[in-house]
Amino acid sequence: MAGQGRGARRRAAACLLTALLVLAGCAAPEPADPAPQEIGALLDRHARALLARDEAAYAVALDPAYAPAAIAEFDRLAEVPLASWDYRLKAVERQGGDREGGGRATARAELSYRIDGYDSGPVTTERVLDLTERDGRWYVTGDRPAEGATQQLWQQGDVETVRGRRSLVLGVGQSEERLKTIAAYADRAVPAVSAAWPEDWARRVVVIVPATLDGMGGLLGAPAASYRGIAAVTTGEVGGGPDAPADRVIVNPEAYGVLGEFGQQVVLTHETTHVATRAATSAATPVWLSEGFADWVAYRETGRTAAQAAPELRRAVRAGDLPAALPDDKAFSFGGDADALARAYEGGWLACAMIAERWGEPELRAFYRAVGTHPQRDGAVEKALAEVLGTTPVEFTDDWRQYLRQRLA
């Protein structure tokens, strides 16, 4: 009987455990936090209202304290011809409150937008939005770039827009006359680039002109001092296809402004070349080739001699300081020795000019494409030199050094 009692107790315990497991399995799961879905829907409505230029609908989800700043940005965007404006919600973090409501939240979202008639792919940037919940509804209390993300031009002031034949120029703190002049240079740059690079590209360009050097730094997400002596830069994704983030030429209003007409045209033709060759440029492309090719296009029909266009390298060669090798990527770093940087650019340009002169312009383009299609940096130039130009790195460097002597001594 004692053994039977123990067995009965074991069976009863087993039955109790089974019942508890069944009850646990049938318990209703904790409801999901509705905030992400609600905030995502808010951002979708926000985007539709902005594209429709519906200020009343745009303001519905704005906290009263934040509304004046947000509406000011809404008004500035009226000058930007947008084709799309979309948010992709990435994360929501609550601060206070609970699933029943109340409290605050921080949302991380990816903003992507396209300019109508110019962008085949979107510009993308990370945003952080602050929100508060009242009476079961979320309201935006702040919107700022995520850490490491860049500003957008309309966050720096009122936007002035000038449309060229082949360009769109957006400026802050600039006169209409100055923006029209930049558009004229950009319009001339596009056919010049197409003649030198007769490949499939958009054949139009967007130029951004901030009010100050600091504004340029904000647009690039980098210290302004790094770009003090740089007249313009091009943003974009190397090797990108038709859906890659759109390119922008960003002008340094200070450095660009001190150039003469010839220099300003060369700068915009150089930067437009980067836009045109973006799909053929990859991580395998050394900077001497990408920058040298852009300078070759910019100077191609100007009639400038090597001595005129490469003054710093000419001084070095005449002083007996002939470069031993093509400039490496570090030589093109901004913020260092300006004369050394100039020599790096001039050396890359003369390498491309030598290829065009000795092998031909089609071979220069084929060489550029061949380097860019290599799967990695190692071996890219060596393989293209052999297959396209029929030479070796040692022979090419020797030829380049001799070319510098001939053109600059």
Question: Sorting pLDDT into bands at 50, 70 and 90, what band is 10?
Answer: very low
Mean predicted confidence (pLDDT) in 43-63: 96
pLDDT > 80? residue 179: yes
pLDDT > 90? residue 241: no
Instruction: Say what the pLDDT of residue 228 is.
Output: 86
Lowest mean pLDDT among 98-102, 204-208, 387-391: 98-102
Mean of the per-residue pLDDT values of the chain: 90
Q: How far apart are CA 252 and CA 224, in angstroms?
A: 10
Instruction: Say what the pLDDT of residue 54 is.
Output: 97
- Helix 261-277, helix 176-196: angle, nearest 10: 50
Instruction: Say what the pLDDT of residue 321 is.
Output: 94
- Write out the two tokens for 16: 């109790």
pLDDT > 50? residue 8: no
Look at the domain 154-278 and name its fold. Zincin-like (3.30.2010)
pLDDT > 80? residue 240: no
- Write out the two tokens for 64: 């009263």
Measured distance between the N- and C-terminal CA atoms of the chain, rounded to whole angstroms: 115
Distance set, CA 233 to CA 27, 253, 291, 292, 342 (Å): 60, 12, 11, 14, 15
Q: How far apart are CA 300 and CA 194, in angstroms?
A: 12
Question: Sorting pLDDT into bands at 50, 70 and 90, what band is 15?
Answer: very low
Mean predicted confidence (pLDDT) in 367-387: 97
Domain with CATH 3.30.2010.30 in the chain: 154-278
pLDDT > 90? residue 51: yes
Instruction: Say what the pLDDT of residue 1 is.
Output: 42
Q: How far apart are CA 114 and CA 154, in angstroms?
A: 14
pLDDT > 60? residue 191: yes
Q: Which residue has the tokens 């120029």?
A: 169
**What percentage of the chain exceeds 70 in pLDDT?**
89
Instruction: Say what the pLDDT of residue 338 is.
Output: 86
**For residue range 58-73, what is the model confidence (pLDDT) as tens digits?**
999 999 999 999 999 9
Question: What's the pTM value of the predicted model, to 2 decimals?
Answer: 0.87
Instruction: Say what the pLDDT of residue 283 is.
Output: 94
pLDDT > 50? residue 306: yes
Question: Sorting pLDDT into bands at 50, 70 and 90, what band is 13?
Answer: very low
Closest listed residue to residue 91, CA positions, set 25, 175, 35 = 35
Q: Return the SS3 of 274.
A: helix
Q: How far apart are CA 188 and CA 166, in angstroms?
A: 8
Residue type (1 letter), 88: R
Q: How far apart are CA 64 and CA 119, in angstroms?
A: 34
Q: How far is CA 209 from the centre of its chain?
A: 15
Domain with CATH 3.10.450.50 in the chain: 35-149
Mean predicted confidence (pLDDT) in 360-373: 98
pLDDT > 90? residue 169: yes
User: DSSP letter at 246?
Assistant: P
**For residue range 136-166, what is the model confidence (pLDDT) as tens digits?**
899 999 999 999 899 999 999 999 999 999 9
Distance set, CA 68 to CA 42, 58, 65, 251 (Å): 19, 12, 7, 29
Q: What is the DSSP string of 53-103?
A: T-HHHHHTTB-TTTHHHHHHHHHHGGGS-EEEEEEEEEEEEEES-BTTB-S
pLDDT > 50? residue 223: yes
**Is the CATH number 3.10.110.10 carried by domain 35-149?**
no
User: DSSP letter at 377?
Assistant: S
Instruction: Say what the pLDDT of residue 121 is.
Output: 86
Q: How far apart are CA 25 and CA 43, in angstroms?
A: 37
pLDDT > 50? residue 401: yes
Mean predicted confidence (pLDDT) in 319-340: 90
Instruction: Say what the pLDDT of residue 275 is.
Output: 95
Residue pair 156/278 in contact by the 8 Å Cβ criterion: no
pLDDT > 50? residue 314: yes
Instruction: Say what the pLDDT of residue 95 is.
Output: 83
Residue pair 154/73 in contact by the 8 Å Cβ criterion: yes
Please give the helix or strand (H or E) that residue 149 lies within, else none: none
Strands 82-95 and 104-115: antiparallel
Residue pair 140/70 in contact by the 8 Å Cβ criterion: yes
Backbone angles phi, psi at 131, to 5 degrees: -135, 155
Q: How far apart are CA 323 and CA 340, in angstroms?
A: 11
Closest listed residue to residue 279, CA positions, set 202, 379, 188 = 202
Instruction: Say what the pLDDT of residue 21 is.
Output: 42
Mean predicted confidence (pLDDT) in 258-283: 96
Instruction: Say what the pLDDT of residue 18 is.
Output: 44
Residues 6 or more apart in contact with residue 120 via CB below 8 angstroms: 202, 242, 243, 246
Residue type (1 letter), 182: I
